[in-house]
Each structure stands twice: as C-alpha cells, then as structure tokens.
C-alpha cells in the first residue's frame, strides 16, 4: 500500500514512521517553511523517531497528493479548511481522505469530516483515525487500541487490515458523529483535568471522568449519534492519555494556565471548547464541564471559582437524563 501523510508534526510524523514499519511506501508532506520538515529532510529523524531511506519527504503538495490514493491528514484542526481550499478538486478525485486530528472547527462548530466533505468530489471517501496513544509510548513499543471509522464499510475494513499490528490494535468504528465528537471533546476534558491538577483538586478527576463522559454522551445523542460512543475508545478510552498522562498537551496546558505559566504547543481543546459550547447552545444541551473550561480559558473568568463550584451544583439524580 502507498500512502501520503499531510502534516509532519508529532502525530503526522508518527503515522509515516508507523506505516513504513508495516512495509507500506510513504511520502510525508510538510510546508516548505516548516522546521519539522527541514529537520526530517536533513537528518531523517526528529526528537522521537528515526526514518529509513525509503521514506520520502516533500514540500510539494501536488506531488504528495498524486503519490497515493490514500491521504492521511494530521494538521491543526483550525487549519484544515485553508488546506482543503489550497487543493485543486481534480487532485482529490478518487482519493480516500483519512483525518487523523481531533477537533471541531471553531467558527462553525462543524466536525472535521464535514469541513473536508465540502471540498471533495463525489468519487472521494472520508475516514477518521481516533483513539488513545502518544508517540512517546509507541516509539518505546508500548501498545494501544484505536478506532478507524467511515461511512464506507469497505474503506474501513481496508484501512484496519492494512494498519493493524501488535503495536496498535484497531477496532471498526460504527458512529462517525460519536467518534468525531468524542475524540474532539476529550481534549476539553483534558484541559479540565489540568485545571484540577493546577488547583490541587486532583482527587476530583474521577468525578470529572464520570461526569465528562456522561455529558458528552448527551451531546452525541442530541447530534444524531450513538450515546454509548462516549464510552468507547474515541472518548472515555482516551482519558488515560488525556486526563492523566504527562504527555498530554491539553492537560499540561490546563495545569500551567492555572499557574499563570505560558504553554506554546498546539492545544486543540481551546478552540474545541468554543465550538462545543456553541453546539450546546444550539441544541439546548447542558454542558457544565465544557462551559466551565470555555469560561476559564476563553472568557477569562476565575478558574478557581468556576471549578470549585462546578462539582457543587444543584443536587439531582446522577443520571437525570436517562
């Protein structure tokens, strides 16, 4: 199998490295000014991974799109629309686009597959690759389980067959809405976890996990997905890597945010919090945790005041919506 990976950051580079390890032919694309791409082209390595001479690196987007019918995209979710606009539709014909990011478009609250679909010819297909896993762990042969989902069954089965290994066990997804919303919103829960750590309320992370997954299950259901997807690998299954891990950017951001310290790495949960709050308002869904995160990180309200009161809300049945 030949595949192209668009995005040479931490996760995009891993996808290229992983696919090459499985025996696939890979081209990894990055923008010409990318420091990540320059390092890869000159050293054939980054801070965590070493690449063989077989991996092709390129800053030529057309070349990367022509290289394979399978296009894996791993960039910032807020840059996806701009990337899709840059691609002539003719280069996307008969392609399978696999989205390997977790987020929602901030301005529209659209799922990333919905953004992508606006630019694809009818002959193209979309899949998503979501679930838990950090490059730091995979690079040290620590396995995990992930999900590939698509509306096209044969596409889903082809990708799972070609990408499964002892390092990553893939499951077939069955709910694009639930898996995309679950994967995006886990980053918001990750920020909440970091805020609790920063406030010294780490003991509340168990309650956060229980209430967070329940909160997102109701959002998924309201959007037309399957409520129990919130308890799958895309959301609850990703909590260990997001709520507790030292490698989680969203959790780290939340902790440093409370402490008034800067964090200059990509934190998808910031934009996703805005998008999810907007969805909650449109659908009239109570999303107290997502609202708390958005109020703290995007509206400048007191984290301590918001999160101290979050778990002291009006008394009600635990599963009052069921």
- pLDDT of 313 reads 60
- The CATH number given to 185-310 is 1.10.1040.10
List own/partner pairs for 229-233 with CB under 8 A and 24 or more apart: 229/175, 229/177, 229/178, 229/179, 229/181, 229/182, 230/178, 230/182, 232/147, 232/178, 232/179, 232/182, 233/130, 233/131, 233/132, 233/145, 233/146, 233/147, 233/171
- In the chain, the percentage of residues whose pLDDT exceeds 90 is 95
DSSP one-letter string for 196-245: HHHHT-GGGHHHHHHHHHHHHHHHHHHTTS-GGGGGSTTTGGGHIIIII-
SS3 62: helix
Q: Which of 186, 205, 221, 274 is catalytic?
A: 186
- What is the rounded CA–CA span in Å between residue 266 and residue 316? 37
What residues contact residue 100 under an 8 Å CB cut-off, 6+ apart?
A: 7, 11, 12, 15, 72, 73, 74, 128, 129
Task: Answer yes or no: are the C-beta atoms of 154 and 179 closer than 8 Å.
Answer: no
Average pLDDT, the chain: 95
pLDDT (0 to 100) of residue 185 = 98
Residue 310 banded pLDDT, cuts 50, 70, 90: confident
Query: What are 39-54's pLDDT values in tens digits?
Result: 999 999 999 999 999 9
**What is the C-alpha separation between 299 and 292, in angstroms, rounded?**
10
| pTM for the predicted model, two decimal places | 0.95
Instruction: Say if CB 89 and CB 121 are below 8 A apart.
Output: yes
Tokens 């996760």 sit on residue: 11
Cα angle 279-116-295, degrees, rounded to a multiple of 5: 30
Kindly state the greatest CA–CA separation across the chain.
61
- Cα–Cα–Cα angle for 231, 236, 240, nearest 5°? 155
Q: Has residue 151 got a pLDDT over 80?
A: yes
Catalytic, 186? Answer yes
Q: Where in the chain is the domain with CATH 3.40.50.720?
A: 2-172
The boundaries of every CATH 1.10.1040.10 domain in the chain are 185-310
CATH class of 2-172: alpha beta
Return the beta strands (E) in the chain as ranges. 2-6, 25-29, 56-58, 70-73, 96-99, 125-130, 144-150, 168-172
Give the Cα separation of 7 and 36 in Å (integer): 9
Model pLDDT for residues 57-86, shown as the tens digit of each residue = 999 999 999 999 999 999 999 999 999 999
pLDDT digits (tens, 9 = 90+) for 190-199: 999 999 999 9
Q: Please state the rounded mean pLDDT for residues 231-252.
A: 97
């Amino acid at each position: 199998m030949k595949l192209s990976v668009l995005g040479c950051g931490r996760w995009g580079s891993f996808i290229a490295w992983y696919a090459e390890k499985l025996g696939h032919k890979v081209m990894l694309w990055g923008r010409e000014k990318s420091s990540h791409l320059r390092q890869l082209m000159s050293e054939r390595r980054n801070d965590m991974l070493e690449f063989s001479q077989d991996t092709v690196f390129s800053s030529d987007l057309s070349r990367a799109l022509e290289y394979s019918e399978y296009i894996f995209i791993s960039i910032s979710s807020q840059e996806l629309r701009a990337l899709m606009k840059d691609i002539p539709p003719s280069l996307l014909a008969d392609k399978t686009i696999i989205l390997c990011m977790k987020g929602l478009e901030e301005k529209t609250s659209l799922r990333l597959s919905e953004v992508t679909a606006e630019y694809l010819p009818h002959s193209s297909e979309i899949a998503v690759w979501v679930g838990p896993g950090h490059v730091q762990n995979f690079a040290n042969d620590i396995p995990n389980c992930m999900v590939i989902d698509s509306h096209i069954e044969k596409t889903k089965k082809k990708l799972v067959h070609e990408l499964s290994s002892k390092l990553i066990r893939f499951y077939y997804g069955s709910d694009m809405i639930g898996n995309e919303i679950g994967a995006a919103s886990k980053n918001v829960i990750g920020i909440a976890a970091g805020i609790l750590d920063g406030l010294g309320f780490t003991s509340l992370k168990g309650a956060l996990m229980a209430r967070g997954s329940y909160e997102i299950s109701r959002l998924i259901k309201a959007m037309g997905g399957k409520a129990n997807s919130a308890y799958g690998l895309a959301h609850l299954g990703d909590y260990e890597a997001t709520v507790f891990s030292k490698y989680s950017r969203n959790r780290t951001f939340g902790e440093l945010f409370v402490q008034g310290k800067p964090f200059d790495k990509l934190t998808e949960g910031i934009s996703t919090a805005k998008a999810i709050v907007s969805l909650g308002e449109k659908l009239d869904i109570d999303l107290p945790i997502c609202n708390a995160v958005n109020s703290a990180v995007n509206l400048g309200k007191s984290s301590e005041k918001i999160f101290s009161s979050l778990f002291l809300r009006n008394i009600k049945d635990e599963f009052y919506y069921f």
